[in-house]
A and B are shown apart, each in its own frame.
Chain A
């Protein structure tokens, strides 16, 4: 994909489809140009056999199309830059603490690295589509941190007004844009 943020949007949809109630999207950038993307959900998880196969492009449990592309794309993107990729998962059948953690590390200075792109749009689209999930977005950089906690915002909006309302989404867009522009030292 042209932007890492599009890949992240796609990977987050996997957590939504796994019926997660809490989804944390963390981006961690260091001074040397390494970026770690980690998504943690408490969805239904996968068994060991599935985990082993999901980063292989010819594996998917979906029936509409044979090949899953999301995780292989992410893996390829990370490894092409000399970074790494990993999945940890615990299936719901195994009880307490089930869910999935996908981690991908990128060397953003590598010639094959795609830019992060528009994370604000990615977060807004996720909130618009799934306003009842407790999203936590944290983007930590050497110049400071951008953060959005859906549960916190929802507690202000109350029962009647959804986080997915256009006016709310527009406010969130501005809220994130402001945090990003105040990062520049």
Chain B
């Protein structure tokens, strides 16, 4: 049974970790479009997968996952943008939970853009 006491334990455990986070604008931001089109196209499981993968790869200190409204390219939803400091923004389109896991492992962690999921690759087709 989940108890509120457990939540207090999480608090104690997290306190120190949170204080160590980068908050200097040097973190990587992963942004998920959660407008009506995004949600209808499957953004909810994509977001959950991203949050889960970032945590699994232990990237939480330097990576945040945030939500935004309609990005304006509805036909490509679900859309995920990756903004790394000092680099060009990368836009991933027609995302799924599986693709999201790969993006975190290969791009966010590994440093190599998953070109085949980007909007550039999608437009070229």
Q: Is the CB of A157 within 8 A of B48?
A: no
Is there a chain A Cβ closer than 8 Å to B18's Cβ?
Answer: yes
Q: Is the CB of A6 within 8 A of B14?
A: no
Residues of B within 8 A of A128 (CB): 47, 51, 65, 67
Given A153-B7, A161-B14: A171 and B2 interface contact (C-beta under 8 Å): yes
Q: Across the A-B interface, how many residue pairs have beta carbons closer than 8 Å? A: 91
Encoded as 1 (CB less than 8 Å from any B CB) or 0, chain A from 147 to 185 comes to 000000100111011100111110100110010000000
Bound-complex Cα distance A174 to B67 (A): 22
CA distance A122 to B6 in the complex (A): 23
- Chain A interface mostly: helix
Most buried by B among A121, A129, A174: A129
CB distance from B39 to the nearest CB of A (A): 5
Is B44 a contact partner of A171 (Cβ separation < 8 A)?
no
Interface size on A, residues (CB 8 A): 36
Closest residue to B70 on the A side, CB-wise?
Answer: A64
**B interface residue numbers (CB < 8 A to A):** 1-2, 4, 6-8, 10-11, 13-15, 18-19, 34-37, 39-40, 44-45, 47-48, 51-52, 54-55, 60, 65-67, 69-70, 72, 74
